[in-house]
Structure 1
């Protein structure tokens, strides 16, 4: 808006202060006002998005922490779609036209922290093969005639991932053993099911020591006496510390068991852009 940038997550959280380098977006948009849909990413040494590295930029509130983290883990904004420009809504406009308007409205340089990733107009199979070869997580396939449906899942816009991932609601944790005796051994997680949260298993791997410390600090104020998850086996809940089911994380896993549990689940990180009510079985 006239060079002023506001970054908002999908659940309405203002992220602007946490990513000062992305104020550059206001200088590369050739319009008075624009609403751009995209993703904030941190890139590894090979130029690939690194979700773990991005986690180090999340939930920072002190200006000094943001400044220090911006130096060690700079982020980029990948612009995927254009929702409105100069007061005109593009939500009902087909994707091909929105894409053309996006490329016309955003003209970043090659070294800019703002990028419009090239679209890949090929078969799904070919796109998946290219994604796998580049070491990416997967692809997003969009119907070229599809409109933009904010906040809704649609067959016109599909994520296809190489590995199985699932968003989960954190309902509690169990103390660790050995080196992790004074910390978290595993998280107890669930997914919405009807009017409650169905227990889907424990997550005990994938954490760094720093992440474990952060999770302990984050979950501490949310402590409660009773389990917020339905169907927790006695063995899993015997020494559990329960928390209010207010936070969402993402895990990678091998498969769903016949009993509806996550097998070999590994922590990927927080999803502050999601609320518990938005979590669905992937």
Structure 2
């Protein structure tokens, strides 16, 4: 079940508020053997070996895989070091460990709980005592608290809402302190100076009724390590012509629009361009076809 972006609801007493975790959504299947899967069914079990099963069986839990910084805050930058590794080396696991944050309970004792109200599912999840962070009353100051602590925001969930797999429901509303959006990578502009041999900036697009539409380029927010990784990933995807339906300035290197990234930005311009975008990372858990304005 997915949330819609928006503001805090006016009838906040009908909602519970959760911290919005800056990570990768994942389901934990607890049976005789543990299995962790992504939004589209990809098997994450070997990707995140430090996620161990809890002392329960016959349950399916919804939650988020996060990487915490030294101050205990979710760091999407740190998570990038793990997202593309199928079978990470122990040294990488030790250097960039991840944590699983449970926040919903979908099955228990082989029975579906999806039709139960959110507050009832959360009560059952809390009874399992597996470290699920609490949710707060809808009229609490959680959004302000997350802003003060530099966290991404909150998710407001109707207390009476059932769980609808695969549905982006207005019963769940994500309220962010920072404007972010997913973009499709359609190419890259060669760098200058110390970046001359590689990527200077990425060419971004979103899908509209006319096809992949250019919305700007992003050249900040990268480390040298990230740029080298992106170069290795994008080179095999190169194509001779632009994948965008609208004109793109400069001479660029084009790639198949197979990869999704996330950027922070200040606003959309009148020309439908992202203003002051800053790269946050690849989103292998998102499909390009999902990326729309």
TM-score by length of 1: 0.90
Counterpart for residue 63 of structure 2: 38
Shift of 1:3: 4.3
Q: How many residue pairs are counted as aligned between the two chains?
A: 264
Between 1 and 2, higher relative CO (CA 8 Å, sep ≥ 6) is seen in 2
Counterpart for residue 112 of structure 1: none
Shift of 1:2: 3.2
Counterpart for residue 136 of structure 1: 151
Counterpart for residue 54 of structure 2: 27
Which digits, 9 at most, give the CA deviation of each residue in 1:221-246, with x for residues without a partner? Answer: 1111111112233xx2x321111111
Counterpart for residue 166 of structure 2: 151
Shift of 1:261: 0.6
Structure 1 residues not aligned, in runs of 5+: 109-114
Q: Does residue 35 of structure 2 align to residue 6 of structure 1?
A: yes
Q: Give the Cα–Cα distance (whole angstroms) in 2 for the partners of residues 164 and 189 of structure 1.
A: 16
Which digits, 9 at most, give the CA deviation of each residue in 1:22-43, with x for residues without a partner? Answer: 0x2x233x3x311111000011
Which digits, 9 at most, give the CA deviation of each residue in 1:16-75, with x for residues without a partner? Answer: 1011110x2x233x3x311111000011111110000011111113x4x43111101111
Aligned to 2:186, what secondary structure does the other structure show? strand
Q: Give the Cα–Cα distance (whole angstroms) in 2 for the partners of residues 228 and 58 of structure 1.
A: 26
**What is the root-mean-square deviation in Å for CA atoms of aligned residues?**
1.4
Shift of 1:7: 1.0
Q: Give the Cα–Cα distance (whole angstroms) in 1 for the partners of residues 210 and 110 of structure 2.
A: 40
Q: Does residue 109 of structure 2 align to residue 80 of structure 1?
A: no
Q: CA contact under 8 A between 1:43 and 1:50: conserved in structure 2?
A: yes
TM-score by length of 2: 0.87
Q: Give the Cα–Cα distance (whole angstroms) in 2 for the partners of residues 176 and 157 of structure 1.
A: 41
Q: Whose helix proportion is higher, 1 or 2?
A: 1
Q: CA contact under 8 A between 2:210 and 2:245: conserved in structure 1?
A: no
Structure 2 residues not aligned, in runs of 5+: 1-29
Q: Give the Cα–Cα distance (whole angstroms) in 2 for the partners of residues 103 and 259 of structure 1.
A: 48
Q: Does residue 273 of structure 2 align to residue 261 of structure 1?
A: yes
Equivalent position to 1:53, from 69, 73, 78: 78
Counterpart for residue 111 of structure 1: none
Shift of 1:162: 0.7
Q: Give the Cα–Cα distance (whole angstroms) in 1 for the partners of residues 157 and 231 of structure 2.
A: 39
Counterpart for residue 190 of structure 1: 205
Counterpart for residue 190 of structure 2: 175
Q: Does residue 120 of structure 2 align to residue 97 of structure 1?
A: yes
